[in-house]
Homo-oligomer: A and B are copies of this chain.
Amino acid sequence: MSEHISSAYDRDLEEIQALVMRMGGLVEQSILSAADALAARDLELAEQVRAADKAIDTLELQINDEAARTIALRAPVSKDLRSILTVLRIAASLERIGDYAKNMAKRTGTLVDMPPINGSDKALRRMAREVQLMLKDVLDAYVRGDAELAEEVRQRDHEVDQMYNALFREFLTFMMEDPRNITACMHLHFMAKNVERMGDLTTNMAEQVIYQVTGSMPEEARPKGDKTSFVRTPE
């Protein structure tokens, strides 16, 4: 945004972006905490994730209000208008990622009494860590207006999808091996799907950043990574 001479609009936008970054920081923390709470069966940490989700929701409402106020007051056009509309989309994606973290935390309380499923907590933690790093980078790309970094994040979602595909097959196998695993695997599988969806949302954010910086959506289609819709039998 260096080509601009600083204006009232720029100051408004910077203030809103500061709120987005604060929101992003909370969401990053929630992703990791949700996975940690599961791995340690830590109900207090799970409760913190649920409380953080309220703060995240409040920030989104605040961002929406500030953005509407800025549009009404400054009547931005072209690139400035695009920037403010992008803020709304980024905040909406962050809110949804926070929701998925909250959903993971809710299931942790249920899983406490169930037998752990061989290595799946760690695998979920790795997935969550990967998504949190993607989110961190996409937020950096957003404030810096760095389309290249956003494109890199977009490509990385493929790895998250592959981790999810592997887990899906593992859960099917564990369920078939022992029916007593079925309920736990259903919940764990939902958590894995939540993390996979977080990766998708982070990818959407990367595409929004690319759109804001370059003025057009990325052309090259992203390889579709979640192939589990087509899984027939576990290998």
CA distance A71 to B71 in the complex (A): 8
Of all chain B residues, which has the CB nearest A168? Answer: B186
Which of A28-36, A81-89, A122-130, A153-161 lines the interface with chain B?
A81-89
CA distance A78 to B230 in the complex (A): 48
CA distance A89 to B229 in the complex (A): 28
**CB-defined interface of A109-120 with B at 8 Å, one 1/0 digit per residue?**
110011000000
A164 to chain B, nearest CB (A): 13
Which of A13-21, A131-139, A142-150, A172-180 lines the interface with chain B?
A172-180
> Given A175-B175, A176-B179, A182-B182, A187 and B72 touching (CB < 8 A)?
no
CA distance A231 to B190 in the complex (A): 13
Which residues of A50-96 are within 8 A (CB) of B? 64, 68, 71-72, 75-78, 81-82, 85, 88-89, 92
Tell me whether A41 is interfacial, beta carbon within 8 Å: no
Residues of B within 8 A of A187 (CB): 229
Copies in the complex: 2
A172 to chain B, nearest CB (A): 6
A116 to chain B, nearest CB (A): 15
CA distance A210 to B62 in the complex (A): 19
One of B89, B113, B172, B183 near A182 (C-beta < 8 A): B172
One of B81, B113, B114, B232 near A183 (C-beta < 8 A): B232
CA distance A228 to B88 in the complex (A): 31
The answer to whether A230 and B109 touch across the interface, beta carbons within 8 angstroms, is yes
Residues of B within 8 A of A189 (CB): 186
Tell me whether A234 is interfacial, beta carbon within 8 Å: yes
Of all chain B residues, which has the CB nearest A103? Answer: B229
> Given A106-B229, A182-B182, A232-B113, A72 and B77 touching (CB < 8 A)?
yes
Residues of B within 8 A of A109 (CB): 230
CA distance A78 to B81 in the complex (A): 17
- The 7 A-B pairs with the shortest beta carbon distances in the complex, nearest first, are A75-B75, A106-B229, A72-B77, A176-B179, A107-B229, A175-B182, A110-B230
